[in-house]
Structure 1
Amino acid sequence: MKNVHDMVEAAKAQIREIPLEKSEDAIKQADLLIDVREADEFHAGHIPGALNIPRGILEFKLTNDPALEDRGLNIVIYCKNSGRSALSAKAMKEMGYMHVQSIAGGIEAWQEANKPVITPELPDFG
């Protein structure tokens, strides 16, 4: 019986994972940067320019949003530490997306390398 670790490892064998040191260049060349973490994780801090599409609704969003239907888009995705993004990249590949890359180590590795992170400010209603 497979567990999630087995599933992530199998997905990583089938996708394109980019090392952290090449991620900034990949993001600059990308048409889209997708953060597949949950909304609360995204709002706690994310890579500048990222669009939040949580893993749980990714396939539905890709299917129902005309702006995301082009299977030729150059897409970089990430999550907390690259598990969810590996599963997401595999699903996107199965849906016909041809140019999807996952950032190795996710935002945890990004932050450890002191790369820029946006933390949205909540309005003060006081």
Structure 2
Amino acid sequence: MEEIKSIDRDRLRGWVSDRSDFVLVDIRDSEDYKEMHIPGAKNIGLESKDFLGEISKLASDKKTTVVIYCYAGNSSPKVAEKLVKVGYEDVYDFSGGMDDWEDAGYPVEKNGQMIYR
């Protein structure tokens, strides 16, 4: 079975800036996502009744690189593990989460607009 990989904020920022070919999934609740999220992230909140179905719409090929993040890294490892168990081969956990991204002062999307700090 594949292992979950960890990605730090600097490497993730590079991927986001380069528009690398990967799916970035924000598992926080939809209200927090709308308020602010990492640019390019798609929201599938943990409360979703069909989480795996929603993921498969974003990444139908299980070889797709998927990065999962939450608030501060408490929930994302469990979700990443679940994806590996159902056959995803290239899963990363951004363990710092939105808190770490914000602390670094990296750009965020807020209400559909890019905010650079």
Question: What TM-score, normalized by structure 2, do the two folds share?
Answer: 0.80
Aligned positions, number:
106
Check whether the contact 2:76–2:95 (CA below 8 A) recurs between aligned residues. no
C-alpha contact (below 8 Å) 2:44/2:55 kept by paired residues:
no
Please give the per-residue CA displacement for 1:39-86, whole angstroms capped at 9, x wherever unaligned.
Answer: 0110110011110011233223235x3x53210101112110112211
Structure 2 CA distance, aligned partners of 1:104 and 1:15?
11
Q: Which residue of 2 aligns with 1:62?
A: 55
Structure 2 unmatched runs, 5+: 113-117
Q: Which residue of 1 aligns with 2:4?
A: 15
Greater strand content? 2
Consecutive unaligned residues of structure 1, counting only runs of 5 or more, are 1-13, 122-126
| Structure holding more helix per residue | 1
Match of 1:82 in 2: 73
Over the matched positions of the two proteins, sequence identity in percent amounts to 26
SS in structure 2 opposite 1:88?
helix
Q: Is the CA contact 1:47–1:118 (under 8 Å) kept in the aligned structure 2?
A: yes
Match of 1:92 among 68, 83, 105: 83
Letter in 1 for 2:35: A
Larger Rg: 1
Q: Hey, what's the Cα distance between the residues in 1 that align with 2:54 and 2:5?
A: 22
Over aligned residues, Cα RMSD in angstroms? 1.7
